[in-house]
């Protein structure tokens, strides 16, 4: 299991469109991918669960990956989320 903390820079946070993109990217990996936000956490491969977290700009989140391709998944998801636009 690997994890890293990042800060959301997208001005709109993880609303519907960016969240949908994140879910699509997560599904490319075999590993389980979870985002932890405060006391809550969600499977990143589930749009509804991800959106229920209510993540906005400047919020700090933990990305946790566990599985065969966990290192690649973490690096990719971190980069993807940090570079999300609107």
Catalytic (active-site) positions:
15
Residue 18 φ then ψ, to 5°:
-65, -35
The rounded Cα 71 to chain-centroid distance in angstroms is 14
CA distance readout (Å), 4 to 80, 85, 86: 13, 21, 23
Nearest residue to 20 via CA among 54, 45, 57, 52: 45
């Amino acid at each position: 299991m690997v994890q890293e903390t990042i800060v959301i820079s997208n001005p709109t946070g993880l609303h519907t469109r960016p969240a949908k993109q994140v879910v699509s990217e997560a599904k490319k990996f075999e590993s389980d991918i979870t985002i932890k936000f405060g006391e809550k956490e969600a499977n990143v491969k589930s749009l509804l669960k991800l959106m229920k977290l209510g993540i906005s700009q400047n919020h700090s989140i933990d990305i946790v990956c566990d599985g065969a391709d966990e290192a690649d998944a973490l690096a990719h998801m971190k980069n993807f989320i940090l570079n999300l636009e609107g």
